[in-house]
Amino acid sequence: MKRWRTNGAAGRYLVVLAILLAAGRLNAVRAEPKAPNAPTFSRAALDRIGDEVRNEVATGKIPGAILLIQQHGKPVYFENFGVRDPDTGQPMTPDTIFQIYSMSKAVTSVAAMMLVDDGKLALDGPVSKYIHSFADAKVGVDLSDEAGKYPLKLEPLKRPITIRDLLRHTSGITYGFFGEAAVTKLYANPQLYAGDFDNAEFADRIAVLPLADQPGTRWNYSHSTDVLGRVVEVASGQTLFQFEKQRLFDPLGMSETAYYVADQVKWPRIAKPFPVDRFRVAGVRDPTLPRRWESGGSGLVSTIGDYARFLQMLLNGGKLDGKWYLKPETVALMTSDQIGPETGIIHDPFYFPGPTSGFGLGFAVRTSPPPGTTWPLGEYRWDGAGGSFYFVDPVDDMFGIFMVMSHTQGGRIQLTLKTMMFEALGKGQRKD
């Protein structure tokens, strides 16, 4: 990758950012002024973060990536690394399109909460009001025995699944990827993704499967957000993409965000992984293929510039460039822990937020700092199966986004980079 040589490292990044902003590849935003006493990043620390990513590329662990750190509404670090296509050698550029997988969940959650703000959805309203097939939902109780047989006993719900349950993954719905329970294996059936189905049909397919738990009793990562996408459709009278495009994507300037890349001219801009990372996630396929299913849980493609606009709106408390998308109190609710000890909600063995975090309405939420650090409370985040991740830190008025296509390396890199970013703000000590 070409590196700019100007008046030192700081000058190099200022030139890169100026060129990107002039080209429209990274949209400038007007942030709400806040956290004036937040610590700032040292340039030397930012250079070390860049060196870390360059080493990942140089040692063949990832083909390429893009990293953005934004504070007080302005990029403090933005760089492209390596290539976006290891087969052709095309360099990584700011307009590269990524499959963002579960980073889609934040977008769908915001869409649903916009309808809550509109008075068209109630958080504690039953899902069956919008998807009637959930009125007959049952819980599957595993009666496995020592002989290795796994019969299921179906029990009625003690209370209906609510919209809140879908947002915080306490619906009892699950995924088919984690564990060997009898219910989990039913969700792993490839027929769940067979054919060219739409959101309505997919929600009905989920509804006939038994729940893994009674609603409101356990956090279980799941297809809940896919079902939520169908609720958005029913409540709005539009397809999920139509609603998101009208209310989020177009107003925010997220012109590259969609459920597949329809324009063939853009196909060379799609990031591709190494062969070891070429796989399907939850039925999501090649992003160039048209499909009726708009997976609210994992189906979006986007660019780092588009997603930065989305996160800046959230960091601003629901507002960007003078336009309100969510009420400030709605953003505060979404980004506060909804499954704390006082709720009695059990954390599943596959509890991905980790021991220092709870979960809000669409995001993991930091509730205590990791040992040996002063990481900020209230930081909220999630990631995607392709390795990309984001986090938002309201205390320091900043967010970070790392875009990559590397399922096998993403989790390791995320921990390393986040640790280095917070250390660059003086919020932890290096362990090496």
Q: How far is it, in rounded angstroms, from Cα 229 to Cα 105?
A: 9
User: Residue 113's Cα: distance from chain center in Å?
Assistant: 16
The residue among 223, 205, 212, 211 whose CA lies nearest residue 138 is: 211
Cα 67–Cα 98–Cα 238 angle in degrees, nearest 5: 125
Q: What are the phi and psi torsion angles at 156 (to 5°)?
A: -70, 160
Beta strands 138-142 and 301-302, pairing class: unpaired
Reading the block at residue 309, the tokens are 């606009």
User: Residue 157's Cα: distance from chain center in Å?
Assistant: 30
pLDDT of residue 251: 98
The residue among 202, 206, 226, 240 whose CA lies nearest residue 115 is: 240
Residue pLDDT, tens place only, 117-126: 999 999 999 9
Which residue has 């209906």 as its token pair?
A: 160
Reading the block at residue 229, the tokens are 């996408």
The ranges assigned to domains in the chain are 16-107+240-424, 123-223
Residue 211 DSSP code: B
Q: How far is it, in rounded angstroms, from Cα 430 to Cα 89?
A: 34
Greatest pairwise CA separation for the chain in angstroms: 72
Beta strands 90-91 and 387-393, pairing class: unpaired
| DSSP H or E run through 68 | strand 64-71
Residue type at 160 in one-letter notation? P
Q: How far is it, in rounded angstroms, from Cα 406 to Cα 403?
A: 9
Which residues does residue 138 pair with via DSSP β-bridges, in sequence order?
Answer: 156
Reading the block at residue 356, the tokens are 């220092």
Rounded to the nearest 10°, the torsion over CA 103, 162, 135, 206 is 20
Beta strands 398-405 and 387-393, pairing class: antiparallel
pLDDT of residue 365: 98
pLDDT of residue 17: 45
Angle between helices 410-424 and 43-58 (to 10 degrees): 160
Q: How far is it, in rounded angstroms, from Cα 375 to Cα 418?
A: 10
pLDDT of residue 119: 98
CATH 3.40.710.10 fits domain 16-107+240-424: yes
DSSP 141-207: EE---TTS---EEEEE-SS--BHHHHHHT-SS---SSS---HHHHHHT-GGGG-SS--HHHHHHHHH
For the chain, list residues with pLDDT below 50.
1-25, 28-31, 430-432
